[in-house]
Amino acid sequence: MQVLVSNSLFFHQKYGGVSRYATSLIKNLINENIDLKIISPLYKNNYLHKLEEIKKYGLFLSKYPRLKILEKANTFFTNYLKKNLKSNLVHDLYYPEKYVPFKKKNILTIHDTIHEKYNYLYNNDYFNFRKKIIENTDILICVSQNTKNDVIELYKVPENKIFVTPHGYDHLSNISPINIEKNEIFKKPFILYVGGRYKYKNFDFLLKAFSKSKKINNDFNLICYGGEKITNKEKKEIKSLGIENKLIELKGDDQLLKSLYLKTNLLVSTSDYEGFGLNVLEAISLDCPVLVNKIKVFEDIFKDSIKYYEYNDEDNLISSLENILLKNNYNINTKETNNILDKYNWKNCGKKTFEIYNLID
């Protein structure tokens, strides 16, 4: 079996959940009986750069300017290689930048329907572009049952065309944490927030709750790891809330991320919607306490292995923070946690994906 895999976000992301999924899946497909090749003509993604066990058609540059001409060139050569390299199957691990039909079987992984459900937050018409791709794809893979249900509802896709292959956590298992104890910024206990903060992520909700609880912000800092650079607008809001000396922005690699999970008093997610919730899975695999907005996908996947605050209820978020951080009230179902870790790992993701490949080979 000859399979070409492509992830358009390798061009855009140094790090990120979709790229994490892509490289972790690829690592777990390498041992299968597949002639696997990665198409990524120009990329800056560090996960892909470190993946040395597989043939890559592409050039790594640690940085390059955000120019449309580069994006168009990358898209052109991606489609050229998809068309001309020998293969039975093309698997796009994220939506391609441009739809081009090929005389090959094809699979698309759909991670969420955020752009469709929150279309009023975005300028582009994602729905009609993606509808065309979905209609002309042989099989769809969704990362959760919740995403599958959304795709069926939005795009009227037959259920037998969609398979679910969830994320895993074990990409951090063999990573050695670093000693962050000596750094002055970690002397004080902290709440951890991981990833993007804008739009549906609802991060300002956490800022306001954090600022309103003097009991919390006197004793804890708030660390934001990864995601977008804090803007001047955000800085003004943070200053107006009186917590400018309490918020710390960090970026780094997997060693730092794992160290933060191990050191933090609590990971918090305020997101209104997720396709899966990879950072939550990472956290619970490292026995990190987790508090999240009560949304369906989290309840379906993580059940009572984590704590929830009532959906977008600020008072309940504040009381939940105080109960966990000040009263040490964090009782979860450890048996459920173990079940989740047994179920959601990259080996299972790779096995299920390989089975799907065999269905249409």
The HSE-up count of residue 349 (CA atoms within 13 Å, CB side) is: 27
Residue 103 in tokens:
């005389």
Helix (H, G, I), strand (E, B) or coil at 223: strand
Q: Is the pLDDT of residue 310 over 90?
A: yes
Cross-strand partners of 151: none
* Percent of the chain clearing pLDDT 90 (strictly above): 87
User: Sheet containing 266-269: which strands, arranged edge to edge?
Assistant: 247-250, 221-225, 190-194, 266-269, 290-293, 307-309
Domain residue extents for the chain: 2-168+345-360, 172-343
Q: In which order are the strands placed within the sheet that holds 105-110? A: 55-60, 35-43, 2-6, 89-92, 105-110, 139-142, 162-164
pLDDT band at 121 (very low <50, low <70, confident <90, very high): confident
Residue 209: both structure tokens together: 């709750």
Q: Are 296 and 146 in contact (CB under 8 A)?
A: yes
Q: Which residues contact 244 (CB under 8 A, 6 or more apart)?
A: 235, 238
- Asked if 177 and 255 count as a contact pair (C-beta separation under 8 A), the reply is yes
Other CB atoms within 10 Å distance of the CB of residue 196: 15
- Name, in order, each residue with C-beta under 8 angstroms of 141's C-beta and a sequence gap of 6 or more: 107, 108, 109, 110, 162, 163, 164, 165, 353, 356
- In percent, the amount of the chain with pLDDT more than 70 equals 100
Lowest-pLDDT choice from 22-31, 142-151, 177-186, 188-197: 177-186
Mean pLDDT, rounded, of the chain: 95
Q: How far is it, in rounded angstroms, from Cα 357 to Cα 36?
A: 12
Q: Which residue do the tokens 């309940």 mark?
A: 316
**CB–CB of 286/266 below 8 Å?**
no
> Is 70 exceeded by the pLDDT of residue 356?
yes
Tokens 């249409």 appear where?
360
What per-residue confidence (pLDDT) applies to 361?
A: 65
Dump pLDDT digits (tens) for 292-307. Answer: 999 999 999 999 999 9
pLDDT score of 245 more than 80: yes
Mean pLDDT of the 136-162 span: 97
Residue 160: pLDDT band (50, 70, 90) is very high
pLDDT attached to residue 305: 96
- Beta carbons within 8 Å of 355's beta carbon, 6+ residues apart: none
Q: What distances in angstroms separate CA 349 from CA 108, 153, 281, 300, one per listed residue?
A: 15, 24, 14, 18
Least confident of 161-165, 173-177, 219-223: 173-177
Q: Report the pLDDT value the prediction gives residue 181, as an integer from 0 to 100.
A: 83
Q: Which CATH superfamily, name and number, covers 2-168+345-360?
A: Glycogen Phosphorylase B; (3.40.50.2000)
Mean pLDDT of 72-95: 96
Q: Is-contact 193 209, C-beta < 8 A? A: no
DSSP-based three-state secondary structure for 126: helix
**What is the DSSP-derived secondary structure letter of residue 304?**
G
* DSSP per residue, 259-306: HHHHH-SEEEE--S--SS-HHHHHHHHTT--EEEE--HHHHHHHGGGS
Q: Are 227 and 197 in contact (CB under 8 A)?
A: yes
Residue 184's pLDDT band, with cuts at 50, 70 and 90, is: confident
Class of domain 172-343: alpha beta
Q: pLDDT-based confidence at 278, cuts 50/70/90?
A: very high
- Residue 123: band (very low, low, confident or very high) from pLDDT cuts 50, 70, 90: confident
3-state secondary structure of 5: strand
CA torsion sign for 187, 188, 189, 190 is negative
Query: Across residues 242-257, what is the average pLDDT?
Result: 94
pLDDT digits (tens, 9 = 90+) for 188-233: 999 999 999 999 999 999 999 999 999 999 999 999 999 888 889 8
Angle at 202 between CA 156 and CA 275, to 5 degrees: 35
CA distance 85 to 183: 50
Compute how many other C-beta atoms are within 10 angstroms of the C-beta atom of residue 310.
13
> Do you know the residue count of the chain?
361
Unique residue bearing structure tokens 């599958």: 148
| Domains 2-168+345-360 and 172-343 equal at CATH topology level | yes
Average pLDDT of span 238-262: 95
pLDDT band at 31 (very low <50, low <70, confident <90, very high): confident
